[in-house]
A and B are shown apart, each in its own frame.
Chain A
Amino acid sequence: MTESAAEVLIEVRDVGKVFANGVVGLKQVSMTVRRGEVVCIIGPSGSGKSTLLRTLNALETITSGEIQVLGQSVHGGKANLNRLRTHVGMVFQSFNLFPHKTALENLMLAPRVVGKVATSELRERCQALLAKVGLADKADAHPAQLSGGQQQRVAIARALAMQPDIMLFDEPTSALDPEKVNEVLDVMKVLAREGMTMCVVTHEMGFARAVADRVVFMEAGEIVYEDRPEPFFEAPRSERLKAFLGQVLK
């Protein structure tokens, strides 16, 4: 139980979110993520997984409750959100690479613009990151010239270029051809093994089972169930989760 002693990086307390059009996105959500933990979030479409993830780096506002990331209140209005976001990397389902820049430029842009890193070492560091995701030879390629799997790996490297403490993944493999899924998951596994703190929204149950420290099940804006992977998948003590797993695992 050394993990429970680790420092808390993300603390979500009783968070609710109602969209402008009245749709309820989150209801009384609470969650804690410690340094080095990998938390996978699963659940049916529209259950609020993306919404929860996006409130963590303030891409989405909340209507009630409180979120602390790296000891700062994200939605209190006092935090320097730009500074906070440099510590929280995010990977999107649709990659969102900058199409007018090469792979390497995609990595270098934010560190250069935000001025977090000295420029002299930046290029080498970004090149090393591309090598780490297996794309050393694609540094000068534009996103349009890369496959989906390659684009997503560049997107992961781009987030890592900011040297974040936390990585958020929103269905990073859902837009990929089935044969490209593993190359992305493998990169994520390496990250997890290196001790990166990760929140991963995913439909890849195999990945959740193998890599996660905890798995969270969401439905209709609520966290319905949360456990370590073995009991979560082997013996879920929740009828709704059982029904969901029955559907996705067949």
Chain B
Amino acid sequence: MWYGVYVLVLVVFGIAVHAASDRVAYTWRWDRIPQYIVNNDGTEMRAPYDGFVAVAPDKKSLTLKELRGSRHDTITGFDVLLVGDGDLVFQNDALARKSGLVAGPLTLGLWMTLKLSAVALVFSMLLGLVAGLGRIARNPAVYGLATTYVELIRGTPLLVQIFIFYFFVGTVLKLSAFTAGAAALAVFTGAYVAEIIRAGIESIPRGQMEAARSLGMSVPQAMRHVVLPQAFKKTLPPLAGQFINLIKDSSLVSVMALTDLTKAGREVVASTFSPFEVWFTVALMYLVLTGTLSLFVRRLEKRLAHD
């Protein structure tokens, strides 16, 4: 019964979307999208320097001789030859093409988003653990530093932080766009992870730490073997939520010279003039990432619940 209502609402919503696009006289061109995910264009082999081409008689290999130098390279394994024997080519000219399936810009963007999120996740976890422990430390210097970090990060917009990392920190430390982007995301997420971990640790009854200490364990030993394993189990759901946010927030790094999924989407829109299809596709690809993550976390939770 309620399942029927659920389906009905979804269908009505779908019809509404369709009707809305009709009203703005939009022509759906879904057929244009797949080539931006995977295509058969193949990869082009380009000249590493200016030079003359010598094609082998069997046309299965070619040799490039440098124009103003003595370097020469033999290129093989291509399917289509794009130059003739004796041609003069310049650096980066296409020499030949190898056919086969290659990832389109959206897939490359997805991969960049995945890499960025994964790197940021690992470092935000480390940062969050350190800052979270700092937030419960008795040492005023440690506590003060951890609190300042958390408040500073939570009190400013991520976009502003990304600009600071890209234009200031990145320039000063000569970071690549990827490093700057991953660092900004890690530092941002780390502050939230710290608060989640602090709350998790504080939710473990004091008696656990006391029992561990009464057995002769040091504070770090008690943390490592008694408190943190229990806190980790409790913080798994909020941590998962935070990491899903991380994946979504990573779209903000598209303001930098990084072609993540969102930036790729923008570029594809510019060349296809099919914004609706592209953005729906991009949204779906984000959903695949976040959905996989929450599935994985749910599995992990179930496994931890058993022991």
Contact = CB atoms under 8 A, between A and B. Distances in A.
Interface of A: 57, 59, 82-83, 85-86, 88-90, 92, 94, 96-100, 109-110, 113-114, 116, 142, 155, 158-159, 162
B215 interface: yes
Interface stretch (B32-40, B222-230, B273-281): B222-230
A114 B215 contact: yes
A109 B225 contact: yes
Interface of B: 205, 207-208, 210-218, 221, 225-226, 229-230, 233, 307
Nearest to B219: A82
Contacts of A162: 215-216
Given A92-B211, A110-B212, A82 B218 contact: yes
A51 B163 CA distance: 55
A90 B216 contact: no
Given A96-B208, A109-B225, 8 more contacts: A59-B210, A85-B213, A94-B205, A96-B211, A98-B208, A98-B230, A110-B215, A116-B216
B214 A59 contact: yes
Main secondary structure on B side of the interface with A: helix
Contacts of A85: 213-216
Contacts of B230: 98-100
A96 B214 CA distance: 11
Contact of B207 (A86, A92, A113): A92
23 contacts: A59-B214, A82-B213, A82-B216, A82-B218, A85-B214, A85-B215, A85-B216, A86-B215, A89-B214, A89-B215, A90-B211, A92-B211, A94-B205, A94-B207, A98-B230, A100-B229, A109-B225, A110-B216, A116-B216, A142-B307, A158-B215, A159-B214, A162-B216
A98 B214 contact: no
B208 A113 contact: no
Given A109-B225, A113-B225, A114-B221, A98 B215 contact: no
A234 B216 CA distance: 40
Contacts of A113: 217, 221, 225
Contacts of B307: 100, 142
Query: Which of B208, B213, B216, B217: most chain A Cβ within 10 A?
Result: B216
A162 B217 CA distance: 11
Contacts of A142: 307
B307 to A, nearest CB: 8
A114 B216 contact: yes
Contacts of A99: 230
A155 B207 CA distance: 12
B231 to A, nearest CB: 10
Given A99-B230, A100-B230, A110 B217 contact: yes
A86 to B, nearest CB: 3
Contact of B211 (A86, A88, A98): A98
Contacts of A114: 215-217, 221
B207 A96 contact: yes
Nearest to B222: A113
A85 B211 CA distance: 11
A59 B216 contact: no
Contacts of B229: 100
Q: 9 smallest A-B Cβ distances: which pairs?
A: A86-B216, A110-B215, A96-B211, A96-B207, A90-B214, A85-B216, A114-B216, A113-B221, A82-B216
Nearest to B226: A98
B208 A83 contact: no
B200 to A, nearest CB: 13
